[in-house]
Amino acid sequence: MFGSVFSGGVIKKAFEKGLVEIHVHDLRDFAYGKHRQVDDRPYGGGLGMVLKPEPVFRAVEKVKCKHEASIVLLSPQGRKFDFHMAQRLSKLQQVILICGRYEGLDERVVQCLATEEVSIGDYILTGGETAAMVVIDAVARLVPDVVGKANSVKYDSFYEGMLDFPQYTRPRQFKGMKVPEILFSGDHKKIEHWRRKKALEKTWLIRPDLLKKRNLSPEDKKILDEIRTEKEGKKNESD
The catalytic residues are 76, 103, 141, 156
Q: Which stretch binds ligand ADE (CB under 6 A): 43-51, 69-77, 85-93, 181-189?
A: 69-77
In this structure, is the dihedral angle defined by the CA atoms of residues 119, 122, 126 and 129, taken in order, positive or negative? negative
Q: Which range touches ligand ADE (CB under 6 A), out of 7-15, 24-32, 68-76, 103-111?
A: 68-76
Q: Which of 42, 53, 76, 104 binds ligand ADE (CB under 6 A)?
A: 76
Residue 155 amino acid letter = Y
Long-range contacts of 14-20 (CB under 8 A, 24+ apart): 14/140, 14/141, 14/143, 14/146, 17/145, 19/143, 19/144, 19/145, 19/146, 20/140, 20/143, 20/146
Residue 131 binds ligand ADE (CB under 6 A): yes
| Contact predicate 82/158, CB 8 Å | yes
Q: Does 70 bind ligand ADE (CB under 6 A)?
A: no
CB of 83 to ligand ADE, least distance (A): 16
Judged by beta carbon, residue 55 or residue 128, the one nearer ligand ADE is 128
Question: Could you tell me the CA-to-CA distances from 44 to 37, 40, 47, 133, 177 in Å, in that order?
Answer: 20, 12, 10, 33, 62
Q: Does 96 bind ligand ADE (CB under 6 A)?
A: no
Establish if 27 lies at the interface with ligand ADE (CB under 6 A).
Answer: no
Is 120 near ligand ADE (CB under 6 A)? yes
SS3 218: helix
Give me the 201-220 binding string for ligand ADE, x by CB under 6 A, dash otherwise. Answer: --------------------
Q: Is there binding between residue 125 and ligand ADE (CB under 6 A)?
A: yes
**Cα separation of the two ends of the chain:** 54
Q: In this chain, which of 74, 89, 109, 146 binds ligand ADE, going by CB under 6 A?
A: 74
For residue 51, the cross-strand partners are: 39, 105
Beta pairing, strands 177-178 & 173-174: antiparallel
Residues that bind ligand ADE (CB under 6 A): 74-76, 100, 119-121, 123-125, 128, 131
